[in-house]
Chains A and B, each alone.
Chain A
């Protein structure tokens, strides 16, 4: 199953809709609450990063029996120093966005923390691609 949502840079009104849609879908197909929560967190952060930093992007989600793969691909300024951007508390968000409670430098660290696999690739002046995988608990090993 595949979901795809367009995300527009600067559109704070629609921000969070892609993540909300994903969470609803995951619950509908019977994904457990904790896994859906982790997927919603990483999808929300990826979506917000596009809204805050990029011009436009696409959030796509592939759900298989084994895992949920979430890819955020944007056209934007890109990230010159990825290790620095990954540091908790580091942010390039402008002041007016921080005042809204965004741009605390927690987005990328949260995406890494709540996914089982995290890959980021960025080209300055072109954009950023983040791919995250969340493994689903295997049906045979219920604890």
Chain B
């Protein structure tokens, strides 16, 4: 599944980073603690969070995430969008709550990583 395939599913707008819409989504991760994401998310994960400030882009770049989904209708900060464009990390925004967004991804076959 590619990032562009989740846009309708999650009723998303693409806030920035459209250059990465063809990134392959391998697995998913959900968390609002940046250290937790750094430690446990992996290359190719789609990340669901309610954090929307610029530092989420640094985390996404370091981990090599496929995309960030900002859930719950939280507004993305302009600096986050600017950096997402720079790094080519799709920054998606949805009004759906995080739980619903994750549920839809899971139902579509995106799994979390279990073990290790």
Given contacts A12-B54, A12-B55, A100-B51, contact A19 B33 (CB under 8 A): no
Given contacts A40-B62, A101-B33, contact A13 B38 (CB under 8 A): no
Q: Which of A72-80, A103-111, A117-125, A128-136 contacts B (4 or more CB under 8 A)?
A: A103-111
Say what secondary structure dominates the interface of chain A: helix
Q: Mark B40-76, 1 if CB is under 8 A from A, else 0.
A: 0001000001010111101101110000000000000
* A58-B32 Cα distance, complex, nearest whole Å: 28
Find out whether the CB atom of B36 lies under 8 angstroms from the CB atom of A16: no
Interface assignment of A32: CB less than 8 Å from any CB of chain B: no
Find out whether the CB atom of A16 lies under 8 angstroms from the CB atom of B33: no
Interface assignment of A69: CB less than 8 Å from any CB of chain B: no
* A13-B49 Cα distance, complex, nearest whole Å: 20
Residues of A within 8 A of B34 (CB): 48, 100-102, 104
Say what secondary structure dominates the interface of chain B: helix
- Which of A19, A104, A114 is the one whose CB lies under 8 Å from B62? A19
Residues of B within 8 A of A40 (CB): 38, 62
Find out whether the CB atom of B62 lies under 8 angstroms from the CB atom of A44: yes
* A11 nearest CB across to chain B (Å): 11
Find out whether the CB atom of B39 lies under 8 angstroms from the CB atom of A101: no
Residues of A within 8 A of B11 (CB): none
Residues of A within 8 A of B53 (CB): 12, 100
* A32 nearest CB across to chain B (Å): 13
- Closest 9 A-B residue pairs measured CB to CB? A16-B58, A106-B35, A104-B33, A101-B34, A101-B51, A40-B62, A101-B32, A110-B39, A101-B33
| A residues adjacent to B (C-beta < 8 A) | 12-13, 15-17, 19-20, 23, 33, 37, 40-41, 44-45, 48, 100-102, 104, 106-107, 110, 113-114
| B residues adjacent to A (C-beta < 8 A) | 32-36, 38-39, 43, 49, 51, 53-56, 58-59, 61-63, 79
